[in-house]
């Protein structure tokens, strides 16, 4: 069975588009598979003068899990993980912080 291509330009565009989409899919699968490092949690104890902002900044600098993330995202993540309704912290309060091992 022979396939007759009527519009070669349109055919080439569609082939290029399909190849591009397949490359994107493969690239995304590869990145998601390689970025699935083992995530563990460490517990930190809030000290006098600590705020979510200072904790988030410290984690951004020292914790690979939060590398390349904005401080506001880190704060939101810490609040979600620890079920915090507000940004108020108490001295000696324990917070769970994700880390990559």
pLDDT reported for residue 35: 53
pLDDT reported for residue 32: 62
pLDDT reported for residue 4: 82
Rounded to two decimals, the pTM is 0.63
For residue 76, give Cα distances in angstroms to 79, 92, 97.
Answer: 5, 20, 12
Parent domain of 68 = 39-100
Map residue 97 onto helix, strand or coil: strand
Strands (E), the chain: 39-45, 94-100
Number of domains in the chain: 2
Do residues 31 and 58 both lie within one domain?
no
The residues pairing with 98 across neighbouring beta strands, listed in sequence order, are 41
pLDDT reported for residue 2: 80
Tens digit of pLDDT at every position of the chain (101 positions): 787 878 889 989 999 999 999 988 988 876 665 555 688 999 999 999 999 999 999 999 999 999 989 999 999 999 999 999 999 999 999 999 999 87
Distance CA 77, CA 66 (A): 10
- CATH number of the domain residue 64 falls in: 3.10.350.10
Phi-psi bin for 49: left (phi > 0), alpha (psi -120 to 50), beta?
left
């Amino acid at each position: 069975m022979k396939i007759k291509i009527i519009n070669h330009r349109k055919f080439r565009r569609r082939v290029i588009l399909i190849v591009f989409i397949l490359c994107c899919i493969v690239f995304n699968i590869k990145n998601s598979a390689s970025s699935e490092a083992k995530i563990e949690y460490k517990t930190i104890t809030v000290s006098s003068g600590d705020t979510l902002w200072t904790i988030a900044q410290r984690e951004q600098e020292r914790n690979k899990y939060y590398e390349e993330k904005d401080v506001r995202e880190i704060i939101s993540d810490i609040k979600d993980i620890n079920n915090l309704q507000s940004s108020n912290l108490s001295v000696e309060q324990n917070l769970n912080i994700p880390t990559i091992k």
